[in-house]
Amino acid sequence: GIMTKYMEKSITELHELLTKGEVTSEELIKESLEKSHEVQAKYNAFVTILDEAKPTNVTDNLLSGIPYGIKDNYSTKGILSTGSSNTLKDYVPFFTATAIENLEKSGAVATNKTVLDEFGMGGTGTTGHTGVVRNPWDRERMCAGSSAGSACAVAAGVYPYATGSDTGDSIRKPAAYCGIVGYKPTYGMISRYGLFAYASSLDTCGVLTRNVEDAAIVVDNMKGIDKNDMTSWDSSSINLHKSLDGQVKGKKLCYVKELCDIENYPNATNELKEHLSNFHNVLEKIKELGIEIEAVSVDKTLLNAQPSVYDVISYAEATSNMSNLTGLIFGPRGEGKNYEEMMKDYRTKNFSSLIKRRFVIGSYVLQADNKDKYFHNAQRVRRLLVDTWNNLFDKYDAVILPVETGPARYLDESKNIIDKDTRVLKEHLQIANFGGFPSITIPDGFINNLPVALNITGKCYDDANILNIAYAIEGTMNYKNQIAKEVSHD
């Protein structure tokens, strides 16, 4: 018979089929596992495929019985959890991250653990210890990162959603490169307990899906206050899914001229020109919903400081957080005559050079003599940026901006034409992490048959409003529920 691709359907569609008895959880798991093996062979998206996954009862929870993927920096009890790092290549936790436990309680069934950039550090999907993740739209291109495997798998139709984590843009950028939706909720809405720490003041759990409604459903089930994460907060009065009513008339958005207008990029490539002109065309369509959109101006010096501020703060926090990786408690033991030698051997051998470079810089900016000049100044500029965005949120529901400079970059960096003056355009999603703001990326067009995206970021705790705006905007375009169609290189 004709093979129905259930795993290309949305959560609500699957729930209806399960409830009506037209398909079973067992059949969905089988399809998801088969597809996992196919996607693994083609794109290398997984650290582990959970061939033993067991069906669950179908209840009135929308996630019950439905497969999903877990980024491999979430601890899963009894299941290998590597953070895509050689330092933890054999680590099997004895407890499960709260966010995953919450999904399990909903009846969700994990079918694999997905590859990331080592410990979430990086934006290419190429630095995990199991190798490069390829983009399902074009295998010569990257998925971006760090949630590379999750983005790849959702876009390729392995299941309707996978968890991600986002310290700078790690959910939203791979979502953009893979033509899907990436949602980073307000900081602390989802417990970080059991998520491998990268930079604690920025780290956020979230999800990658193929439509906004699914993102709302999944985060409703992941979120909640947790005694094991003191930055988590009580969101029990918020129901993201029920709040999606598409009523957006009179909402106000703004975009930042310095980032969006082509005259700021005198060396723009054709790709960038197309991307920004598409963005402005989409803004016109959004206005037809009765949403007002205004251009605002942000001080260029402040904007230009943004990527370095992220680097200083995230590297400093990373070097401190990851000092627990000694090889003495977990991970493959290093060699040496005493514990210092063993630690040194383990860390030298097992961390990639990208991470070691970040640790060196992180330690440097934290040294007593440098701390005020680098770390504290970065904190001050972080505050200025957050205040600037919060001032925008006094007047506007959200800031809308293009993601990146165009579609997915080539894995072979020598093939990528790097525009000058685009550093902030590439990194600005990090501002949402500076402020803990809810932020969602949705596909908004195609350039050379490859997806591009826009991002919407709002004020803290305003997730329902932000998702509703994204939901309405998604409805004006034809990029909902996209499955990657691979371009040919013949």
Please classify residue 90 by burial: count the beta carbons closer than 10 Å to its beta carbon, then call 0-12 exposed, 13-18 middle and 19+ buried. Answer: exposed
From the list 25, 84, 146, 191, the catalytic residue is: 146
Q: What is the DSSP string of 278-321?
A: HHHHHHHHHHTTT-EEEEE---HHHHHHHHHHHHHHHHHHHHHH
Q: Compute the least distance from the CB of residue 423 to ligand GLN, in Å.
A: 13
Angle 353-366/300-321 helices, nearest 10 degrees? 100
Torsion of CA 52, 53, 57, 58, to 10 degrees: -140
DSSP state of 463: H
Q: What is the DSSP string of 62-126?
A: TTTT-EEEEETTB-BTTB---TT-GGGTT---SS--HHHHHHHHTT-EEEEEE--SGGG--SSS-
Q: Compute the least distance from the CB of residue 98 to ligand GLN, in Å.
A: 19
Candidate list 167, 209, 441, 457; residue touching ligand GLN; CB under 6 A: 167
Provide the mask over 264-303, with x wherever binding to ligand GLN is found by CB under 6 A and - wherever it is not: ----------------------------------------
Q: Compute the least distance from the CB of residue 453 to ligand GLN, in Å.
A: 16
Q: Compute the least distance from the CB of residue 243 to ligand GLN, in Å.
A: 26
Q: Which listed range, 4-12, 117-125, 221-229, 295-303, lies at the site for ligand GLN (CB under 6 A)? A: 117-125
Q: Compute the least distance from the CB of residue 196 to ligand GLN, in Å.
A: 11
Per rule CB under 6 A, is residue 138 in the interface with ligand GLN? Answer: no
* 88 and 48 Cβ atoms separated by less than 8 Å: no
Candidate list 61, 106, 150, 170; residue touching ligand GLN; CB under 6 A: 170
* 182 and 404 Cβ atoms separated by less than 8 Å: no
| Strand pairing class (204-209; 161-166) | antiparallel
Among 149, 135, 157, 147, CA closest to 182:
147
Q: Which listed range, 165-173, 211-219, 395-403, 477-485, lies at the site for ligand GLN (CB under 6 A)? A: 165-173
From the list 170, 191, 352, 439, the catalytic residue is: 170
Q: Compute the least distance from the CB of residue 265 to ligand GLN, in Å.
A: 21
Q: Which of 82/314 has CB closer to ligand GLN? A: 314
* 461 and 195 Cβ atoms separated by less than 8 Å: no
* Chain-centre distance for alpha carbon 290: 30
Q: Which listed range, 82-90, 160-168, 297-305, 442-450, lies at the site for ligand GLN (CB under 6 A)? A: 160-168
- Assigned token pair, 416: 């990528």
Q: Which of 159/198 has CB closer to ligand GLN? A: 198
Query: Could you confirm whether 232 is annotated as catalytic?
Result: no
* 114 and 147 Cβ atoms separated by less than 8 Å: yes
Q: Which listed range, 33-41, 167-175, 237-245, 463-471, lies at the site for ligand GLN (CB under 6 A)? A: 167-175
Report the alpha-carbon distance of residue 215 to residue 201 in Å, rounded.
23
What residue type is 448 in one-letter code?
N
Q: Compute the least distance from the CB of residue 146 to ligand GLN, in Å.
A: 4
* 124 and 76 Cβ atoms separated by less than 8 Å: no
DSSP state of 13: H
Query: Could you confirm whether 20 is annotated as catalytic?
Result: no
Per rule CB under 6 A, is residue 146 in the interface with ligand GLN? Answer: yes
3-state class of 412 per DSSP?
Answer: coil
Maximum Cα–Cα distance across the chain: 71
Q: Which of 123/445 has CB closer to ligand GLN? A: 123
What is the footprint of ligand GLN within residues 366-425 (CB under 6 A)?
A: none
Q: Which of 170/235 has CB closer to ligand GLN? A: 170
Q: Compute the least distance from the CB of residue 106 to ligand GLN, in Å.
A: 25
* 116 and 163 Cβ atoms separated by less than 8 Å: no
Q: Which of 118/213 has CB closer to ligand GLN? A: 118
Candidate list 120, 331, 435, 438; residue touching ligand GLN; CB under 6 A: 120
What is the footprint of ligand GLN within residues 309-328 (CB under 6 A)?
A: 314
From the list 9, 71, 173, 480, the catalytic residue is: 71
Element housing 277 (H / E): helix 270-287
Per rule CB under 6 A, is residue 121 in the interface with ligand GLN? Answer: yes
Q: Which of 120/160 has CB closer to ligand GLN? A: 120
Alpha-carbon distances, residue 189 vs 99, 206, 224 (angstroms): 10, 9, 6
Q: Compute the least distance from the CB of residue 169 to ligand GLN, in Å.
A: 5
Element housing 439 (H / E): strand 439-447
Provide the mask over 335-374, with x wherever binding to ligand GLN is found by CB under 6 A and - wherever it is not: ----------------------------------------
What is the footprint of ligand GLN within residues 181-220 (CB under 6 A)?
A: 198
Candidate list 138, 166, 213, 271; residue touching ligand GLN; CB under 6 A: 166
Query: Could you confirm whether 243 is annotated as catalytic?
Result: no
**Which residues have a catalytic role annotated?**
71, 146, 170
Which residues in this chain contact ligand GLN in the complex, by CB under 6 A? 120-123, 146, 166-170, 198, 314
